[in-house]
Amino acid sequence: MNNETITLPDLGWGAFYQSQLSIEEVESMRPLRVTEVHRNTMETMGVDGPVSVPMNRMMAEHGMAVGDWLLTDRDSVHAERVLDRKSLIKRGSAGLEAVAQLIAANIDTLFIVSSCNADFNIARLERYMALAHQAEVEPVLVLTKADTCDDPSEYVSRAAELQNVITITIDATSGDTVEHLAPWCGVGQTVALVGSSGVGKSTITNTMTGLDLLTKGIREDDAKGVHTTTARSMYRMVTGGWLVDTPGMRALRLVDARDAVDAVFEDISDLALTCKFNDCTHENEPGCALRAAIDAGELTEARIGRWQKLVREEDRSGETIAESRARNKKFHQENKYAQKLRRSKKGK
Ligand SMILES: Nc1nc2c(ncn2[C@@H]2O[C@H](COP(=O)(O)OP(=O)(O)OP(=O)(O)O)[C@@H](O)[C@H]2O)c(=O)[nH]1
Ligand SMILES: [Mg+2]
| Per-residue pLDDT tens digits for 89-126 | 988 876 555 567 899 999 999 999 999 998 899 999 99
pLDDT at residue number 218: 45
Do residues 229 and 247 lie in contact, with contact meaning Cβ atoms separated by under 8 Å? yes
pLDDT at residue number 216: 54
- Name the DSSP class of 70: E
Å from CA of 20 to ligand 1 middle: 40
| pLDDT tens column, 303-312 | 999 999 999 8
Q: Is the C-beta atom of 228 inside 6 A of ligand 1?
A: yes
pLDDT of 325 higher than 80: no
Pocket test for ligand 1, best of 181, 211, 216 (most atoms within 8 A of CB): 216
DSSP assignments along 78-90, one per residue: -EEEEPPPS-EEE
Q: What average pLDDT is seen over the chain?
A: 87
Alpha-carbon distance of 233 to 201, in angstroms, equals 12
Alpha-carbon distance of 287 to 182, in angstroms, equals 49
Grouping H, G, I as helix, E, B as strand and the rest as coil, residue 45 is strand
- State the pLDDT confidence band at 203, using cuts at 50, 70 and 90: very high
Q: Is the C-beta atom of 188 inside 6 A of ligand 1?
A: no
Amino acid, res. 49: G
Instruction: Please state the rounded mean pLDDT for residues 9-23.
Output: 97
Instruction: Indicate which atom in ligand 1 lies nearest the CA of residue 148.
Output: 1
Å from CA of 247 to ligand 2 middle: 6
Do residues 59 and 80 lie in contact, with contact meaning Cβ atoms separated by under 8 Å? no
Of the ranges 85-94, 131-140, 257-266, which one carries the lowest mean pLDDT score?
A: 85-94
Buried b (16+ CB within 10 A) or exposed e, 237-252: bebebbbbbbbbbeee
pLDDT at residue number 188: 96
Of the ranges 55-59, 170-174, 227-231, 249-253, which one carries the lowest mean pLDDT score?
A: 227-231
- State the pLDDT confidence band at 39, using cuts at 50, 70 and 90: confident
pLDDT of 236 higher than 60: yes
Do residues 120 and 144 lie in contact, with contact meaning Cβ atoms separated by under 8 Å? no
Alpha-carbon distance of 257 to 254, in angstroms, equals 6
Instruction: Indicate which atom in ligand 1 lies nearest the CA of residue 248.
Output: 25
pLDDT of 337 higher than 80: no
Of the ranges 123-137, 154-168, 211-225, 288-302, which one carries the lowest mean pLDDT score?
A: 211-225
Q: Is the C-beta atom of 220 inside 6 A of ligand 1?
A: no
The phi and psi torsions of 2 (rounded to 5 degrees) equal: -95, 100
Q: Residue 244's beta-bridge partner residues?
A: 192, 234
Do residues 42 and 36 lie in contact, with contact meaning Cβ atoms separated by under 8 Å? yes
- State the pLDDT confidence band at 225, using cuts at 50, 70 and 90: very low
Instruction: Indicate which atom in ligand 1 lies nearest the CA of residue 203.
Output: 15
Grouping H, G, I as helix, E, B as strand and the rest as coil, residue 98 is coil
Amino acid, res. 244: V
Of 255 and 136, the one with more pLDDT: 136
Å from CA of 216 to ligand 1 middle: 7
